[in-house]
Structure 1
Amino acid sequence: MKKLLITSLIVITAHFTLAQKSIGISYLGLGSNDAIHLTSLAGAASYSGESYYGVQLDYLAPINQVLSFETGIGYRHHELLQHPNVPPNMDTAPNDVNASILTIPVGVRVNFLKYLFINPGLILNADLGSSGNVSGQTGVGFNLGVGLQYEFASGLGVYVNPYTAMHSTLSLSSENYPERITESGLKIGVTFKIK
């Protein structure tokens, strides 16, 4: 058993060392965002998304012809409106809420039909601060996307990746009923092959 484990580790290490990896940069946005509770709460404020954007450094390492390991580090900025639930004759004007999140995606890219891929994964989130009353987003979230990619002979690649994500699905917030920020939009990026 020990020999099998050591042999497997050597093969995997050699594969990742010899495989042609890619680094890239991407822009995320052009979609919608929201902040939601996973349980229904009577009397709680509600939220509506105004806009969001993100930038991300990407790293891809092929596992085989179909699968690639996908990770990176990114930044997301969300602008939301908080709609207070107050009694009649009180100010019901919405409040502006902003949230900034550091993200580390960890997932796989499943390539098929030469130019298409699916990329499910987890997102490790660190809340960088917010203005307004929205829960901290530190925790583990998820994302799921379907994309179209094209790689040139030079090693340069481009892709478009419609996706949806929820930050802090498993929240580390001390609140009993934290809000989770969601986003659905486009990830547009370029990649470069490295050795």
Structure 2
Amino acid sequence: MQNKLLYSILLTVVTVSTQLETSLYAQVHNKGRYSIDLSTTPLSSVNIGPLKSLIGSQGNISKNYISGLVRGTYKHTERWSFSVGLGYSSQKVTTTFPVIYPDIEQKQYFTDLHIWEVPLEARLRFLKYFYASAGPMIHFQQQSNSYVDKQNGLGINIGVGTRIPLSQTIAVSLAPHYKLYSLIPFHSGKYYDRIQTVGVEIGVSFSLPIH
């Protein structure tokens, strides 16, 4: 009888210890695995037009480009992480038509472009604080535009960056990147207008505790 009681107590202690060890390992292993990233692109250069240069075609100049992005990131390993986001950008576009006759005034039109995008991204960490990133993005133009082809399609985003932790839960990042919109446009055309952006993204990341 005593042996059975001792065996039951020992079995209970071993079971509880195993469960506690598994729970503690999961907490340590998953800590900081998920994060929310907020970023903006204050510095950028934007080009709008066909990928092939056309003589005598209209010219588009972008000004006042501003963008913001929120990402949800999953750290798969110490080197690899994956994210999905929702971004928005706004810019003012000046469209200038070529002069056909010298006595006719050159025409200009001013429009706004508002684009929503859903980027998917993979990151590879190297050295200690640096990473390379790449991935596709689906994007939609909020309204029609008579002078720039509507930017609905599939694009790409490529970049490198640095991510520096300030604490166990907060980190800041700085990332130069290149974006090409409408790599595969939903509306086809021989000389389809595509937006190309070279910019520097700054952001802050908040780790989410997982237990």
> Any gaps of 5 or more consecutive residues in structure 1?
1-13
Find out whether 1:36 has 2:49 as its counterpart. yes
Match of 1:85 in 2: 98
Partners of 1:66 and 1:154 in 2: how far apart? 18
Equivalent residue for 1:186, pick from 174, 196, 200: 200
Q: Does the CA-based 8 Å contact 1:32-1:51 persist in structure 2?
A: no
- For residue 39 of structure 1, what is the amino acid of its counterpart? K
Match of 2:72 in 1: 59
Larger Rg: 2
TM-score (norm 2): 0.78
- The percentage of counterpart residues that share the same residue type is 26
Deviation at 1:186, TM superposition (A): 1.1
Partners of 1:63 and 1:78 in 2: how far apart? 35
Give 1 or 2: higher strand fraction: 1
TM-score (norm 1): 0.84
Match of 2:185 in 1: 171
Deviation at 1:38, TM superposition (A): 2.4
Q: Does the CA-based 8 Å contact 1:143-1:165 persist in structure 2?
A: yes
- For residue 49 of structure 1, what is the amino acid of its counterpart? S
Equivalent residue for 1:75, pick from 88, 102, 125: 88
SS in structure 1 at match of 2:143: strand
Give 1 or 2: higher helix fraction: 2
> Any gaps of 5 or more consecutive residues in structure 2?
1-25
Partners of 1:48 and 1:78 in 2: how far apart? 10
* Of 91-100 and 144-153, the range deviating more from structure 2: 91-100
* Of 111-120 and 171-180, the range deviating more from structure 2: 171-180
